[in-house]
Structure 1
Amino acid sequence: MRRILVLALLLALAGCSSDSDEQPEAANLKVIGIEKVTADGPVRLSPDGRHLAQTGNDLCVTDRGGGAEKCVEKVKLDGRLAQWSPDGTKLVFTDDFFRFFREPDVWVYDVTTGDLRDLTDDATEKLDLTNPDPNADVDILPAWSPDGSTVWFARGDLDAERVDLMSVPAGGGDATKLGTVDCAVTTLSAMAWTADHVAWTCGLDDATVSIAGHDGGDAHKVVTSRKGADWSALSFSPDGLWLLADSLSQYAGYAGAAGGGARAVSVFGGDPVPVAGGKVAFPTWSPTGHAIAYVDLPGSVDVVSEPGGAPTKLRGGHVAAASGSVRLDWAPGVLLAAIDGESTLLTLG
C-alpha cells in the first residue's frame, strides 16, 4: 500500500481574478504588488483570499492581514489534501492514513469559530494492517459541494476492490451512499467533484483518470496511462466543463524531466490538451472562467486564458513551486507563491 507523497517544495503560487464576475484575459494580467508572508511551513490561501492555513504536521489558520492564530490539535491530518470550503470559512480533511496508517475520518474545521467536527466517527483511530477492524470505515479524499452544504468523499476497506461514493451534510448528520466505482481504496489516489460529475485516478504504476455521474454509472476513461504519470492531482474548472490532471511524483527533487505533463480534458470527451508549452508545473484554475496559472520550471509564473492558450509571464527569473497543496492556489486578485524560497503574495491587476 502506498501513495505518491509530494515533498514540501517551498511555497506556492495561487491564481488571480478581478473583483468583477468576469475573468480578465491572461494577456491583461500583471503583478502590481509583492508582499512577503511569515510562515514556518507550507501555506494555503483560502478561496476568498482572507485566510492563510499552514498545513504541515499541524493545521493553523490566521487572517491574511494578521490576527489571532487558531490551531487544530486533536487530529494528525493529511494537510496536503485539506480542502477549503467555497466561501473560505471552513476546511475539510481526513486523518493521515497514507503516512501514519491512522484510520481516517472526515473532519470539518470552522476557521471563524475554531469549531472542529468529526463527520464520520466510527470509534476507530488506528488501523491494524495485519488484523483490520471489520467495522472501521476508511474515508478518504473529501471535497465540498459547490454551495458548501455537503461533503463528498470515498469510503472503502482494505480488502475490497471497489470504493463507495459518499455524501454527508457539512454540519453533521448521516452519511449517504451515492454509488460505487471500481478502484481499491489503496490505489485510489485522487478525486474531484462537480455538481454533476466525479472524476478519480486509479492505479499507482499505470494510473488512469475516469469521469462518471455521482452514482459511478456510465464511467469513461478520459486520461490514460502514460509512463511516469501518476495523475494524482485532479481539479475541475469552476463551471465544471474541464478537468485538469497533473502528476506529482515528477516534482520530487525537481528532476530534470519535471513539468510539461499536465493535461486538460473536456467532460464531454475528446483528446486531452496540454496546458501550455514548456515545463508546466503545479497548474490551477482561475476562480472563474477557464484561465490556468502555473509555474514554468524552474520558476517563471505564467498564465493562459484557456487550456493550450498563449502564455503571459507574470513573474520570471526566479525559483517557484506549489505551497502545501498539490496545485497552486488562486484567490481573487492575489497569488500566493514560494518565490526563491520565501512565501510571497503577488497582487494582480
Structure 2
Amino acid sequence: YQAVNPGADVVSTASVRDLRHKANGGLLFRHGDSTISGGFTYSTENDYKGRNVSLGAHTEAYEHNTQFDLSYAKSFDSVCNRVQPSSATSTRFLALENSDGCFTDDPLRTTKPIDADSFQASWTQAWTKIFLTQLVYSAQLLNGFQSNPYRSVIIGQGVKAAENHPENRGRHSLTLRGTVFLKPLHAALKLTVRGYTDSWGINGGNLEGEFEKYVADWIRLGARGRVYKQSGALFWSDDYTGGDAPLGPKGQYFTGDREVSPFTSVMAGARARFVVPTQGKRLARIFHGVEFGGGFDVVQFVYDEYTLAGISVGNARAYIGNLNALVTF
C-alpha cells in the first residue's frame, strides 16, 4: 500500500491556535479533623466546552498519622464537530476542517456530548517520623464522543474517514507512593508505582522516582525520572488497509491516535522553588509570603507500531517547561 500511496496515513487539520477560559468556585466545611468540599468548574475553548461538579471528603485519625480521602466528579462536556451527510456511515464521515462556526448557529457545525464520572479513594499513612506512604485508587466512566474531530484515517484504497472511537470507556488505576525523609541530607526521596487498565484493552504501568533537597532554607531543588509502558487498544492498527497482524482492520473502530498504540516513554526533569524570606514581616506591608518556582522536563517516546506512512518515528521527543509564582496575603 505504501509503495503506491506515498504520504501520511493520518491527517490532522486541527488549528494551531486556541484560547481557553476557565472559571471555578468551591465551598469547604470543616468539623474537627474532617472536611467536606464541593466545587464547580466551567471552561470554554474554540471547539470545546466543559462543565464539572465535584464533591470530596477528608478525615484524619490516630493523631493525624492516618488520612482518608474520597472524591467524586461529574463532567458534562461538549465537543464541536461538523455536520455529516444523513446517509453517510462512519466509514464516510469527514473530519472537522477548523473551529470556525463552532458553538454558533452555523448549519455546518454541530456539538457532540461527552460525560465522565470520576471516582477516587486514597489512604495516606505516616508510619514513622521519616517514612510515609499513600495508596490511591481511581476509576472513571466515559460516555460520548471520544474521537479527535480533526483527525482522518486512511481505511482503504483511496478512502479516508474521520477516526471513529467507541463511545464508552471504563478505566482504573492503582498507585502506591512512598516518601523517605533523609535527615542528614536535608532531602526527601519519593518512589511511585502505578498500574492502569481500561475497557479498550490498554494496560500500562509506570515507575517514577524523585529526589528533593533543600540547599538553603529558602531554596529547594529537585530531580525526577519516570518510565512508562503500555499496550495498544483492541482496535489499534497502524494500517487499516490490510497486511499481516498486527496490521489490518480491527472491526468497526479505527484511530490515528498514537496515544492508544503500544509505546514506551522515558522522562527526566528538574525543578526549583524559591521562597522569599520575610523574617516574620509582611513584604511591602501587604504580602505574607512570596514564592517562585519552575521546572523543565524532557520526554522521549518509543513507539512499537506507530509510524508515519510506514516510516518509524525516531524523534518523538517533548520539551516541557513551566514557571509559577505564589503570593499570599
| TM-score of the two chains, using structure 1 as the length reference | 0.29
Which of the pair is proportionally richer in strand? 2
Specify the structure having the higher radius of gyration (Cα): 2
RCO greater where, 1 or 2, for CA within 8 Å and sep 6 or more?
1
| TM-score of the two chains, using structure 2 as the length reference | 0.31
